Structure 1
Amino acid sequence: MTESFADIIERARPLIASAPVSDALDQHGFHRQILPPNIRPVDDGTVLFGPVRTGSYRPIWENIENIYDLEIALVDDLKAGEVCVLACGGNLSIGPWGELLSTRARYLNAAGFLTDGAARDVAAIRAMGFPVFTGALSPADTQGRGMMAAKDIPIRIGETDIAPGDIIVGDVDGVVVVPRAAALEVLSTALGKITGERRMRADIEAGMSLAEAFRKHGLL
């Protein structure tokens, strides 16, 4: 029986890591899928994994009425397992995320949040265990600094294009984006690499030399 997209997402969830997925992306010819290294988890122990919902921000310099409406609409519409990704053009003055949005997203069983802008309320977010990845930490609100211009559209962070439905994988090593159309193949390859690495590690722990283990498994 052919494995479905939902099947492989669930099979990958307890095992997934950014490094083997990055290797799998390279193997399948996707070489610009790593997000900028300044985007870090608020809590190093959290993992980001799931299909993305997107929003884009633009800078502003004045107070705007109803500035939060589009952002609220996106967060309230998050489905279980989805990751909210907000592109701020790398503008660290724009801080679109904090405790209250995390609380709502967690209630909806969303899988996490990422921005190349800033986030705040770090202590509260860590306490609730919700995966948040951000380009910076800042106490600043978005009012007078930035507002969401569109949602559920293709966005770009660093050198990586991100479309709604693409799969994002993030951990303490970094963040990668898997194009939706290639997700089955890439994640299957990544899971095979994870299984192979575990077997190789067991051989090394049992005393096998690195050279011999590499000849046997072909992994590094």
Structure 2
Amino acid sequence: MTDTFDDIIAAARPVIAAAPVCDALDEHGLHHQILPPSIRPVDDGTVLFGPARTGGYKVISGFVEGIYDLEMALVDDLKPGEVCVMATGGNTDIGPWGELLSTRARHLEAAGFLTDGAARDVVAIRAMGFPVFTAALSPADTQYRGMMVEKDVPITIGGVSIAPGDVLVGDVDGVVVVPRAQALAVLSTAMTKITGERRMRADLEAGMSLAEAFRKHGLL
């Protein structure tokens, strides 16, 4: 078993996937950590993985001076491997993310972005390969619609709490949230499952029956 949080993140990054992490969460009694299935990757080939940095929005109607200040402060402070998470309360009229923020986050070696709001500039984001997960696509800017009012605080998306430092794992299957306090144990379990699945798949490809492979590996 890997000893530190940073070690398990580094070891898991090349092979991590949402499904085995979801199974590992279940094994540890954490059954309500799946974000709404409406939150999808802009590019199905990208993987979201890393500790969260969070921001929360409120609805506005009209022009607000300095509306982007807190949003820019969060993005400019992203550290390598972190995932920027902006919660709009599920309001897809609010579109906090696009090409320019992706460009800055990628330069800072952030691990991706997620919102229950909207994102835009899809063609550019796909071209740069930056992981962006969003509940909607829209050309709308946040001005006149929504404003970030809190940074680095616990937020909620689809009934799932996300605190700064919680680990997000997302791919085309969906997104799960691993509480930071349980991250080392859950990700270690997930890594064991990923290794076991590879061995079971090899047996199935060699002709072993599903029932026999299940008896041998205990996986499905």
* TM-score (ref. length: structure 1): 0.99
Q: Which residue is 2:126 aligned to?
A: 126
Q: What do the CA deviations read for 1:75-119 (whole angstroms, capped 9, x no partner)?
A: 000000000000000000000000000000000000000000000
Mapped to 2, the partners of 1:6 and 1:89 lie a distance apart of 31
Q: Which residue is 1:100 aligned to?
A: 100
Q: Which residue is 1:182 aligned to?
A: 182
| Contact 2:2–2:8 under 8 Å retained in 1 | no
Mapped to 2, the partners of 1:50 and 1:63 lie a distance apart of 34
- Asked whether 1:9 is paired with 2:3, we answer no
Q: Which residue is 2:114 aligned to?
A: 114
Q: Which residue is 2:157 aligned to?
A: 157
Mapped to 1, the partners of 2:123 and 2:2 lie a distance apart of 44
| Contact 2:46–2:129 under 8 Å retained in 1 | yes
Q: Which residue is 1:215 aligned to?
A: 215
Q: Which residue is 2:80 aligned to?
A: 80
Mapped to 2, the partners of 1:41 and 1:81 lie a distance apart of 18
Mapped to 2, the partners of 1:215 and 1:159 lie a distance apart of 36
| Contact 2:40–2:134 under 8 Å retained in 1 | yes
SS of the residue corresponding to residue 161 of structure 1 reads strand
Mapped to 2, the partners of 1:63 and 1:2 lie a distance apart of 50
Mapped to 2, the partners of 1:62 and 1:159 lie a distance apart of 29
SS of the residue corresponding to residue 101 of structure 1 reads helix
SS of the residue corresponding to residue 93 of structure 1 reads coil
Consecutive unaligned residues of structure 1, counting only runs of 5 or more, are: none
Tell me how far 1:3 sits from its aligned partner: 1.1
Q: How many residues are aligned here?
A: 220
Q: Which residue is 2:49 aligned to?
A: 49
Tell me how far 1:32 sits from its aligned partner: 0.9
Tell me how far 1:62 sits from its aligned partner: 1.0
The RMSD of aligned alpha carbons is 0.8
Q: Which residue is 1:167 aligned to?
A: 167
Structure 1 ranges of 4+ moved more than 3 A: none
Tell me how far 1:2 sits from its aligned partner: 5.9
Mapped to 1, the partners of 2:183 and 2:50 lie a distance apart of 11
Q: Which residue is 2:200 aligned to?
A: 200
Taking a change above 3 Å as real, the CA distance of residues 2 and 115 of structure 1, as seen in their structure-2 partners, is closer
Q: Which residue is 2:144 aligned to?
A: 144
Consecutive unaligned residues of structure 2, counting only runs of 5 or more, are: none
Instruction: Tell me the percent identity.
Output: 79
